[in-house]
Structure 1
Amino acid sequence: MKKKWYVILFLPIVMFSVDAQSSGGYGFCPRERYITLATGPTLEYVEQGLPMGECVIFIHGYTDSWFSYSRVLSLLSPWYHSFALTMRGHGDSDKGSELKYDIADFSADLIAFMDAKNIDQAVIVGHSMGSFIAQYTGVYYPERVKGLVLIGTGEKAVNNPVLNELKRYVDTLEDPIDPAFVSDFQSSTVFDPVPDKFLERVVAESMKVPAFIWKEALEGLNNTDLSAYHSALDIPVLIFWGDNDGIFTLDEQNSLALNIPDSTLKLYKNTGHGLHWEKPAKFTKDLTRFLIQFDRLLRNR
């Protein structure tokens, strides 16, 4: 019996072992997959971990892709059945002009993905724009969400001065987008430097997003205000914020933590908006502590 368990536990470690050549040195070999959803688009995603493990779904930020979580996935235990999605309009997912790019549409895709993969419930991890997709999903699809992890988030995006300033510039964008602007945009979200190869790939992923989606996705984000619903969230919520986040303030984090009944706020020093990029080991350790409460396998060992 012990040998059978050894084989089961060993397989995911082999499948997601270090391969510096194919993964950029971040610890696992991503297999990009594609799935066509009932909501219309075909999405890119990566998957790792034990199929019987607790499900964790990672949602990236504005103009990012699944790669946003590559430094976390390489450190996350294979006990967890983890998925990192590339949302519609981003990365190598569908970018049709007939599609909509509001927070509600991204959330509907997330639920359609869970339906297609026969996932009843999951812990949803979201960064920046992805954190508002996670919030929306927790509010409107509570039966599908076990817990939320919000990184670089806020009470609302409406009337955010930094996002409004960004929108004024983004509204002037035309294809092809200037790589220097994209590089400056992504670099501005980081306080503690990240590896050059990682940031280069992040910029390359953002360059895949056409100008009209830069505009429509930001318009949808900037219209988002879920603050009236936070007190009704009846699930555990973990909030991460870096003290050098240039988009969302400490006051917003404190208000979120106050208004969400079962919430915990983690503050990282000398860290920017891209918290999980800058401190992936610390973030993954804190995330794992949060996930253990949901993990049947670990609780029953």
Structure 2
Amino acid sequence: MKVKGVQPFMENIKVKKQWITYKGTNICFQAYKEPLDSNKPYMIFIHGFLSSQYSFRKMIPLLIEKYNIVTIDLPPFGDSDRLTRFKYSYVNLANIIIYFMNTKSISQAYLVGHSMGGQIALTCAYHYPERIRKLILLAPCSYLSKADRFSYLISWLPFFPYLLKGLLYRKGVYETLRQCVYNESIISKGMLKTYIKPFLDNAIYLCLTKMIRDREGDLDSECLATIEIQSYIFWGKKDEILPISIAYHLVRDLPRAELCTFDFAGHLLPEEVPNVICERILDECN
């Protein structure tokens, strides 16, 4: 199914930032449109590490006619709270998705997860298979072990958050984005302004430090083999963050997975190839 361009739809989409509270942490989300249409299936978007719901802005207009779309800022990113008392494990982050669904009386949803968000989508499917209709995985983080003992111990040092801040500042937002895309000409001033915003808040470095300690390893092959949900995996062959070899491993481990690759795309697929991905979603998920 061919999808229309982004621009004609953007002016008609009504959206506002809203919040729910999960275990004392305010979680920002956006629902397109309000009120949600009970006759449409729900599609929940889960962003990646150092990102936010902003990263899906090109995909939403292409799918809004067929789905109730919800995007969520996972803490400590986007406009959600940045609190050191929050447990930044994948299971706890996945529980936010299920908690949101329970709060909004959503019995089932399609999950679209990019990078770290893909691993969280897989975690939802592993623990709550009855709540997930299908998985759309955009270069999902996979087979990453938990932090080694040295990283865990050094993260307790008082200066570590400042070291982390220095490393991220030294690389810079532009260079980080450039590494994530194949066609760097798509990097705009708007992208730079939005992606840098959370890192102007010093609290995020304390949270990222805690995430090193809280994050468990990704689901292993044995766990993945139990996920019977239909999964569509998308991957760029020019991905410098997560190499394409991971995709071939993942599609073997997931019992009901299909892989679609892009010859000239990097890691940030929602920014680089939204139209093609949305065409496939509309073809396979309707």
Task: State the Cα distance separating 1:102 from its structure 2 match.
Answer: 1.3
Deviation track 1:57-107 (CA, whole Å, cap 9, x = no partner) reads 000001211111111112223220110000121111111111111111101
- The match for 2:209 is 215
- The match for 1:184 is 175
- The match for 2:31 is 47
Contact 1:239 1:264 in 2 (8 A): yes
Distance 2:168 2:246 in 1: 32
Distance 1:224 1:136 in 2: 9
1:104 paired to 2:104: no
Distance 1:120 1:279 in 2: 30
- The match for 2:236 is 242
Task: In structure 1, give the amino acid aligned to 2:191.
Answer: L
Deviation track 1:213-268 (CA, whole Å, cap 9, x = no partner) reads 23333555573233321111111000010001112222221121112111110101
Is the partner of 2:164 in helix, strand or coil?
A: coil
Match of 1:149 among 117, 136, 155: 136
Task: State the Cα distance separating 1:196 from its structure 2 match.
Answer: 0.4
Task: State the Cα distance separating 1:280 from its structure 2 match.
Answer: 1.4
- The match for 2:74 is 87
Q: How many residues align?
A: 264
Distance 1:195 1:28 in 2: 24
Distance 2:272 2:146 in 1: 27
Match of 1:254 among 248, 252, 275: 248
What TM-score does the superposition give when structure 1 sets the normalisation length? 0.78
Contact 1:154 1:256 in 2 (8 A): no
* Further displaced range: 202-211 or 254-263: 202-211
Contact 2:116 2:141 in 1 (8 A): no
- The match for 2:17 is 32
Contact 2:240 2:266 in 1 (8 A): yes
- The match for 1:11 is none
Match of 2:257 among 235, 253, 263: 263
Contact 2:48 2:113 in 1 (8 A): yes
Task: State the Cα distance separating 1:177 from its structure 2 match.
Answer: 6.3
Contact 1:136 1:226 in 2 (8 A): no
Task: In structure 2, give the amino acid aligned to 1:143.
Answer: E
Task: In structure 1, give the amino acid aligned to 2:37.
Answer: P
Task: State the Cα distance separating 1:273 from its structure 2 match.
Answer: 0.4
Match of 1:272 among 259, 266, 286: 266
1:173 paired to 2:164: yes
Task: Report percent identity of matched pairs.
Answer: 23
Contact 1:68 1:202 in 2 (8 A): no
Task: State the Cα distance separating 1:198 from its structure 2 match.
Answer: 4.2
What TM-score does the superposition give when structure 2 sets the normalisation length? 0.82
Stretches of 4+ moved more than 6 A in 1? 167-171
Where does the alignment leave 5 or more consecutive residues of structure 2 unmatched? 1-7
Match of 2:105 among 118, 123, 130: 118
Task: In structure 2, give the amino acid aligned to 1:51.
Answer: D
Is the partner of 2:27 in helix, strand or coil?
A: strand
Contact 2:88 2:210 in 1 (8 A): yes
Where does the alignment leave 5 or more consecutive residues of structure 1 unmatched? 1-15, 20-26, 293-301
Task: State the Cα distance separating 1:155 from its structure 2 match.
Answer: 3.4
Task: In structure 1, give the amino acid aligned to 2:233.
Answer: I
Is the partner of 1:284 in helix, strand or coil?
A: helix
Contact 1:46 1:84 in 2 (8 A): yes
The structure-2 alpha-carbon separation of the partners of 1:170 and 1:246, relative to structure 1 and needing over 3 Å to count, comes to farther
Distance 2:170 2:30 in 1: 26
Contact 2:14 2:32 in 1 (8 A): no
Match of 1:199 among 191, 197, 214: 191
